[in-house]
Amino acid sequence: MAKLTPQDACKQTIEVCKAAPVVPVLVIKDVAQARGLGEALVAGGLPALEVTLRTDCALDAIKIMSEIKGGIVGAGTLLTPKDVKNAKAAGATFGVSPGATDELINACEEEGLPLLAGAVTASEVMRLLNRGYTVQKFFPAEAAGGAAVLKSFASPLPQVTFCPTGGIGLHNAKSYLDLPNIECVGGSWVAPTDAVNNGDWAAIETLAKDAVATLSK
């Protein structure tokens, strides 16, 4: 298999970011929740889903969610080459990591999994840019200074488009999305733990619809 180039990886991650203003960040503790949760979010207008590899059933959840019509399912919290292999085998079509290591980037290129890698400082952004990654995650967004930092990056680093994640909700998402260098935000607020545990898919679909109605450009 030919290696995925950074340019092709970014073409694919920007499409994921353009799918909707929010990429739900999901921590799935029970695989029985996967289909209902995924279908509710997709029906609510949020097709791109990040399933974090933080639970035992995350890979099985990706397998199930990748069968949902209209869904675009990725694996989050990728830390190691093994995570990349497992995510790809489970059917993930993109990967997300809180930061970036050369080992992880190399593994994603080898496996053909487009990576949305994380950066916080100008040097980290430049390091990813040197490897050809013009689409990046900004994590942890609020704790790292929020939209003000990304607004500041837009002048010296206009070629980089960000997906900020961490501490973002309906109350502050617009402050990011209004910036020229933001295509979408990531967040868990559209899939609150209580609603997921209760299987309240109608509530989750409503949260997704509210996000789309409030935040679409």
Q: Which of 17, 23, 25, 104 binds ligand 3PG (CB under 6 A)?
A: 25
* Residue 92 contacts residue 86 (beta carbons within 8 Å): no
* Residue 149 contacts residue 166 (beta carbons within 8 Å): no
* Residue 17 contacts residue 135 (beta carbons within 8 Å): yes
Decide: is 164 part of the binding site for ligand 3PG (CB under 6 A): no
DSSP classification of residue 155: T
Give the range of 114-122, 147-155, 186-194, 198-206 binding ligand 3PG by CB under 6 A: 186-194
Q: Which of 21, 38, 71, 166 binds ligand 3PG (CB under 6 A)?
A: 166
Q: Which residue has the tokens 């050809």?
A: 132
- Among residues 42 and 163, whose Cβ is nearest to ligand 3PG? 163
Segment (H or E) for 201: helix 201-215
Decide: is 187 part of the binding site for ligand 3PG (CB under 6 A): yes
Which of 4, 3, 13 has the alpha carbon at shortest distance from 118?
A: 13
Give the range of 156-164, 166-174, 175-183, 199-207 binding ligand 3PG by CB under 6 A: 166-174
User: Whole-angstrom Cα distance, residue 200 to residue 208?
Assistant: 13
Decide: is 188 part of the binding site for ligand 3PG (CB under 6 A): yes
Is 137 one of the annotated active-site residues of the chain? yes
Instruction: State the catalytic residue, choosing from 50, 111, 183, 205.
Output: 50
Per the DSSP assignment, residues forming a β-bridge with 76 are 52
Decide: is 165 part of the binding site for ligand 3PG (CB under 6 A): yes
Phi, psi of 87 (to 5 degrees): -65, -45
Q: Which of 168, 182, 208, 211 binds ligand 3PG (CB under 6 A)?
A: 168
Which residues of the shown chain bind ligand 3PG in the complex (CB under 6 A)? 25, 139, 165-168, 187-189
Catalytic residues: 50, 137
